[in-house]
Structure 1
Amino acid sequence: MSQITFPEFTYERPDLDRLETAFNAVLEELKAADHLNDAIAAVEQIDSIRASVSTAYNIGYIRYSINTRDEFYRGEKDWFDQHLPRTEQWKVDYYRALLDNPHREALQQHFGAQLFDSAEVSIRTFRPEILEELQSVNKLSSEFTQMRGGAEIELEGETYNLSSITPLEQVPDREKRKEASSAKWQWFAENRARIEDIYAEMVKLRTSMAAKLGYDNFVGLGYANMNRTDYGPEQVANFRRQIQDHIVPIAQKLYDKQRERLGVDRLHYYDLSFRFPTGNPKPQGTPDEIVAHADRMYQELSKETGDFFRYLRDKNLMDLEAKDGKAPGGYCTFINDYQSPYIFSNFNGTSHDIDVLTHEFGHAFQVYSSRDQRPLEYNWPTYDAAEIHSMSMEFFTYPWMEGFFGPDTDKYYFSHVAGSFRFLPYGCAVDEFQHRVYENPELDNAGRNAIWKEMEAKYLPHLDYSDHDHLHDGTFWQSQGHIFSVPFYYIDYCLAQICAFQFFLKDEQDHESAWADYVRLCKAGGSKSFLELVELAGLENPFEDGVVKKIADRMRERLDV
């Protein structure tokens, strides 16, 4: 099996009835185990059953993402949307059996406390009464993905999708940028009613689930779904305040410098993605040449990364180029039974192509490094910690950027660091927006758009949508897929960015030490909580007062602001 490539990976819809019977039989063995070794063996069998379901789902989802018009895998995605939520009950039953197990103390010593801490949180996320709501949310999420994946944007006789139009939003000709950006947002405007209705229904369904599970609103359930065991909304709110105090002013100076460079009186929405009057940094060469340089880069970075990148290439575990019908965005997932990560992206000729090769590779390298961790929960850390691996890899690969960008390398360095700063306020805006929405679920579409306008004024005061009615109404958030599909998954990027900046600064001082810390972090997988992993990597806690300011002060020196 280990020699076959991804196109040869077997997809078979799981027989959930048969698997549930097997699962429940092993669960009884776990509950009745007379000896610790019998309990451990039961946990490993349960892992195997759950991994088989995850494997089928991920193979199907990847093939659906590659071509959302593929009728077979689209049908399989719809089937999973309908039937996968029933496996949430398996997980809850399993976690209860762990927490109530007579061998709990010994099992905790064997597997570590994180499994049990996660179990305590997770058992509060499901009861059979919310099954229909989960199915409905999944169906709505798939509809939103299919809408975006099937977007057709007409411009000057050509048809683009949401990925392929991006380069046209970064051309030097301001009028052409405006035309491209306007065309893209016109698609959102034309689909606004359905997009808003999808989200309104999601908020209603998630609020209903939270009420059935005993939460005041969906915020608590959302945090539990994210498996956050060592911080809550109060710590996140304090972190956002630090970003507002110490990062927003730097970001505004960066936007003002950009305005001066471009020689315009005001930065309009169609100017934001255009960073230099001579053009944005663009990767050189064909996609094949870019991948070939990435191969050289990872061979030189370390033996571990070199061997792993060859593994991804040899087994066809990457789909990188934008195509019609392909789902937008990029991600990394893990196919358990083949112990193989998979990288999905949409190359479009911009510097983002290189960011994906480093960012998603960071995810892939981490999960491959911890693929042998047991139990299953430990292959991946929680999202917040997982983004440390990806964002830090972007910095570890800096010495090889000249091979991608040639004479544009300095522009890339500046754009990347500046972009990291500019992202932090946006990430906080997305996070606070979601808190406000789910704390006030009675709001209508206009009320939610009004909240986004407040977030823009607070975190992104540079924005100027005065000549675009759709965006001026507070609708930009409708382009952010995480808000729909993975609620509260966004502040994770901000927390990880502060940690990644620390890896960057450590790497400048002592590469060998920084890389050793990074590899240790990757190998730990999800065996510890977010803050424990931060400590394991020798990083400072981003929630602590003063840490954001300290990192901001050190990084801004590279931006001359």
Structure 2
Amino acid sequence: MTATQQRQIGSEEFPRTFVAPGARFDDWATAEPYYKQLVDREIKTLADFEQWLRDFSEVDAAFDEEGTARHIAMTCATDDAEREQAFLHYLQNVQPHREPWAQQLRLKFAELATRFPLPQKRYEVLERSVRSAIEIFREENIPLQVQLAEMSQQYQKITGAMTVTLRGEELTIQQAARNLEETDRALREEAWRAISDRYLQNADELNKLYDDMVRVRHQVAKNADCADFREYMFKAMQRFDYTPDDCLAFHDAIEKVCVPAVGRLFEQRREKLGLKSLRPWDLDVDIDQRPPLRPFKNDDELVAGCSKIFHKVDGELGDIFDNLSQRGLLDLGSRKGKAPGGYQATYNEKRLPFIFMNAVGTESDVRTLLHEGGHAFHTWSCRNDPLDAYRTYPIEFAEVASMGMEMLCLPHVDVFYGSETDRARKRFLEGIVTFFPFMARVDAFQHWVYTNVNATTAQRQAHWQSLTKRFSPHIDWSGLENYDRDSWHRKLHIFEVPFYYVEYG
């Protein structure tokens, strides 16, 4: 049996009351009767309606957990053919069948909410979300969404396979990037070029993949009667409180305020390092040429240190984190074949968070685990709500808990750094300032891409380079233009979760 097949079905803490205890939604034939029962059920009272909602949540949680488990397994080993096939089977042969039934249930919800008005203090947000989802659903988009998910998996597979050889040693991209903090400038440049050359090997493939994604996403938008994919995503992400124009104004404000501030920081860096200009490999080395911060040597030390920090912030948070560690819900270290980046996913039925990242012993890895811990605590704090929709926090609010947790933990990072704590805190705070222009560049790029869907690869590359000049004018890219034009390939959000980046700002 595969690891996926061996997974425990259901939740001992939250036992099923509607779905059969042993039912596993690894094929549509098992799941369909439950959705049909919900569609056909006669509702006579408000109490019936609320029980129907709880049963709907139970079915959806069991269904979603199957997909989440397969996605986690695949990202932990993108080079494992069995895991890949298990994920693709669910993606292609199980999940698409649910979507028309989910729309029927949303429509039934809207009709029932008219007949049996729900207490607005409890259900106002849910009603708004359901009506928004009804508005943009189109059955013809189901196969297109499958295509897009397959393309995202292909991006993970391509980038997860990337390694470089640096001074005779094969390293993952994350492991090689550690060298960008070294005081040896020749080593930094060598590491930077090795990483950049490795991405360049797949540049044509990734550009073609993105072309296909943009084309399919535009068709999804047109099918949903939206002018473009940007309009579609603002509805799909349920951005009720701000508009594309607000984002563009945010970019302008960052250009006006943050870019000059970063310029002052970078000028100080250039002078201290004694350089004529700052090259891309000069941005992470310590400004005083001190050895890199190396706060931990292995995953166990990272977990132990973050546990201490969380306990200092709040004992309950520390206990939750320790619980996750003991349950094996952390996969932290970088290795060949592992998908890039970091995330927190939720096993919706067990109501448990899972943390994934690519740690290599750096100061940024500590921040990443504190960040993902914030997501996990958010998930945990919602787990007793009977409605799956309320246990799954809106994507528009997700980063509040994670970015906030980074700040709450900052007073306690001496756990890792001892006498170097002030230095670590300064790097963290400077990183906030330097992040804003990069965030704006990533977001502005996507606004342009999806409102210029017929642009060629060359035009897209040129626009990215224009954004480099706008938001990062202090870095000397002379002679490196062929690297810069496709450097956005490294930002997985652009491929996998379009328009999801401005939230970090």
| TM-score for both structures, normalised by structure 2 | 0.92
How far did residue 228 of structure 1 move? Answer: 1.4
Match of 1:162 in 2: 173
Q: Which amino acid aligns with 1:153?
A: V
Match of 1:456 among 468, 490, 498: 468
**What is the Cα deviation at residue 305 of structure 1?**
0.6
Provide the secondary structure at the position in 2 that maps to 1:344: strand
Structure 2 residue 303 is the aligned partner of structure 1 residue 308: no
1:139 aligns with one of 134, 143, 150: 150
Question: Is residue 93 of structure 2 the alignment partner of residue 47 of structure 1?
Answer: no
- Is it true that 1:126 corresponds to 2:137 in the alignment? yes
Q: Confirm or deny: 8 A CA contact 1:111 1:375 kept in the other structure.
A: no
Q: 1:446 aligns with which of 437, 440, 458?
A: 458
The 1-side partners of 2:27 and 2:119 are apart by: 32
Q: Distance in 2 between matches of 1:105 and 1:161?
A: 56
CA shift, 1:374, in A, is 4.0
What is aligned with 2:207? 196
Mapped to 2, the partners of 1:460 and 1:469 lie a distance apart of 14
Q: Contact 1:247 / 1:425 at 8 angstroms: preserved in 2?
A: yes
Task: State whether structure 2 residue 430 is matched by structure 1 residue 418.
Answer: yes
> Aligned AA for 1:490?
Y
- CA shift, 1:102, in A, is 5.0
* Counterpart Cα distance in 2 of 1:56 and 1:255: 47
Aligned equivalent of 2:290, options 278, 283, 286: 278
2: CA distance, partners of 1:434 / 1:92: 29
Q: Supply the distance in 1 between the matched residues of 2:6 and 2:178 (Cα, whole angstroms).
A: 30
SS at match of 1:106: coil
Q: CA deviation at 1:171?
A: 1.2
Aligned with residue 317 of structure 1, among 326, 329, 336: 329
Preserved contact between residue 125 and residue 224 of structure 1 (Cα < 8 Å): yes
* More moved, 266-275 vs 204-213: 266-275
Q: 329-338 or 115-124, which moves further after superposition?
A: 115-124
Q: Which residue of 2 aligns with 1:77?
A: 87
Do the aligned partners of 1:36 and 1:103 also contact (CA within 8 Å) in 2? no
- Give the alignment of 1:54-65 within 5 angstroms: 54-65=64-75
Q: How far apart, CA to CA, are the structure 2 residues paired with 1:306 and 1:152?
A: 35
Match of 2:236 among 225, 230, 254: 225
1:437-516 counterparts in 2 under 5 A?
Answer: 437-472=449-484, 474-494=485-505
Pick the aligned partner of 1:149 from 124, 148, 160: 160
Counterpart of 1:338, as a letter, is K
Q: Deviations over 1:444-493 (max 9, x none)?
A: 11111111112112222123221324224x21111111111111000011
Q: Residue 262 of structure 2 corresponds to which residue in structure 1?
A: 251
Cα separation, 2, equivalents of 1:286 and 1:184: 23
Q: 8 Å contact 1:58–1:335 — kept in the other structure?
A: yes
Could you give the per-residue CA deviations for residues 283-303 of structure 1, whole angstroms, max 9, x where no partner exists? 145432232222222223212
Counterpart of 2:332 in 1: which secondary structure? strand
Give the equivalent residue in structure 1 for 2:16.
none
Give 3-state SS (helix, strand or coil) of 1:112's partner: helix
Q: Which moved more, 1:19-28 or 1:312-321?
A: 19-28
- C-alpha distance in 2, partners of 1:58/1:428? 30
* Matched letter for residue 256 of structure 1: E
1:60 is displaced (CA, Å) by: 1.5
Unaligned 5+ runs, structure 2: 11-23
Q: Which amino acid aligns with 1:268?
A: R
Query: Does the Cα contact within 8 Å between 1:359 and 1:391 map onto a contact in 2?
Result: yes
Distance 1:448 1:464, change over 3 A: same
Conserved? CA contact 1:281–1:409, under 8 Å: no
Mapped to 2, the partners of 1:251 and 1:208 lie a distance apart of 39
C-alpha change, 1:154 and 1:24, in structure 2 (3 Å) is same
Output the CA distance in 2 between the equivalents of 1:132 and 1:162: 33
- Give the C-alpha shift of residue 167 in structure 1: 0.6
What is the DSSP-based 3-state SS (H/G/I as helix, E as strand, rest coil) of the residue aligned with 1:164?
Answer: helix
Q: Which residue of 2 aligns with 1:427?
A: 439
1:347 match: 359
Counterparts of 1:261 and 1:79, CA distance in 2 = 55
Distance in 2 separating the partners of 1:102 and 1:50:
19
The whole-number CA distance in structure 2 between the counterparts of 1:33 and 1:450 is: 58
TM-score w.r.t. length of structure 1: 0.83
In the alignment, the residues of structure 1 paired with residue 115 and residue 477 of structure 2 have an alpha-carbon distance, to the nearest angstrom, of 57
Q: CA deviation at 1:13?
A: 5.5
8 A Cα contact 2:178 2:362, kept in partner: yes
